[in-house]
Amino acid sequence: MSEARSWGRQRALCHWATPFAWLVLLLALTLGMEALEGGFRLLEPDSREIIYTRADFLVLLGRHLLMVGTAGILAIGLGVGAAIAVTRPGGRDFLPLVSQLASMGQTFPPVAVLALAVPVLGFGTVPVIVALLLYGLLPIVRNTLVGIEGIDAGVREAARGMGMTGGQILRQVELPLAAPVILAGIRTSVTINIATAAIGATVGASNLGDPIISGIVNGNTAYVVQGAVLIGLLALTVDSLFAKLMPTRG
């Protein structure tokens, strides 16, 4: 019995190994970038400063996560909520418009959305979060719609015929069946937003994009690489986490 349990624990450990490895690497580099000064020296032999010091990498990582996380949670709430609303009898009139808007909106380049948000909302962290939220909504709405609309008509018919209420059908049938597709939408949304948030550094939101932008402005390749590596690792950590969350199909 205990053997089986420890085997199970081992398997769970293996399951989370990839995201965990990326996370460890990310944290190690965030905290110990100074240790690599010698390596970066090769890139920039002439510069006085080799390691980006205007802000702590951990703080930058935290801000990056905060921006993406806030936008992500709001986008999930609003996006899934909107998609549910337009698939209920009361909101069905809005379904064609919302689904067309969600698929058309995804052709908008994220940078353009970010750039267009600035004239309206101004510079700083909040406008970037709003832009991330707006852009992040689209894949979530779209996938939630696809997931719910894609459920076999017979299943919904049977659920109704068995006497399930609308709420029961939503909670016990529609959402669980649509969950993998919805999760894929959230994954797309978050992945794009990690990248877009970094560009947000150009409009005054401070995060892991900062070292890159300041490196480009000052011609310091070492800064650019430091920021780029951390953003890349963050993206890989989050993406591999989502990859493991995806059900393998029961």
Partner 1 sequence: MIELIRVSKRFGAETAVDDISLRVEKGELCVLVGTSGCGKSTTLRMINRLIEHSDGEIHLDGQPVRTFREETLRRRIGYAIQSTGLFPHWTVARNIGLVPRLLEWPVTRIQARVEELMNLLGLPQEEFADKYPSQLSGGQAQRVGVARALAADPEILLMDEPFGALDPITRETLQEELRALQARLHKTIVFVTHDMDEALRLADRLVVMHQGRIVQQGRPIDLLRAPADAFVESLLGGEDRGLKEAALLPVSERMRPLRASQGHAQERIAQHASLREALSVMLWRHAERLIVIDEDDRPVGELSLRRLVRARDDE
Partner 2 sequence: MARVTGRPNIVLLSLMLAALLAWWGLPSVSVAPNRIVSGSAYLAPEVAGVGLAALACLPMVAVMGLAWRPSRTRLAMALALVVLMLTALPLWLSLAALRLIDPTSPGARMGIGPGPWVLLFVLLLALIELRTRLGLSRRLGWGLLAVPLGSLGVCLMRWLSPLALWQEYQGRREAFESALGEHLLLVGVAVGVSLVIGVLVALAMRRWPAAQRAGFGVLNFLQTIPSIALFGLLLAPLAWLSSEVAWLAALGVSGIGWAPALLALVGYSLLPMVRNTYVALEGVDPTVIDAARGMGMSHGQVFRQVRLPLALPVILEGIRITTVQAIGLTAVAALIGAGGLGTFIFQGLGQAAMDLVLLGALPILFMALGVDAVLGALGERLRPGGTP
Distance CA 141, CA 134 (A): 11
Partner interacting with residue 118 (select from partner 1, partner 2, none; CB below 5-8 Å by kind): partner 2
- The DSSP letter of residue 174 is I
Cβ contact 206:63 at 8 Å: yes
- Shortest Å distance, C-beta 200 to partner 2: 10
Is the Cβ of residue 173 or residue 225 nearer to partner 2 in the bound state? 225
Binding site for partner 2 (CB under 8 A): 43, 93-94, 96-97, 100-101, 104, 107-112, 115-116, 118-120, 123, 191, 194-195, 198-199, 202-203, 209, 212-213, 215-216, 221, 224-225, 227-229, 231-232, 235-236, 239
Is the Cβ of residue 9 or residue 92 nearer to partner 2 in the bound state? 92
Is the Cβ of residue 133 or residue 194 nearer to partner 2 in the bound state? 194
- The DSSP letter of residue 55 is S
Is the Cβ of residue 85 or residue 151 nearer to partner 1 in the bound state? 151
Partner interacting with residue 168 (select from partner 1, partner 2, none; CB below 5-8 Å by kind): partner 1
**Hey, how many other C-beta atoms are within 10 angstroms of the C-beta on 214?**
16
Tokens of 205: 């939101």
Partner interacting with residue 104 (select from partner 2, partner 1, none; CB below 5-8 Å by kind): partner 2
Please report the DSSP string for 182-235 in residue order.
HHHHHHHHHHHHHHHHHHGGGGT--STHHHHHHHHHHT-HHHHHHHHHHHHHHH
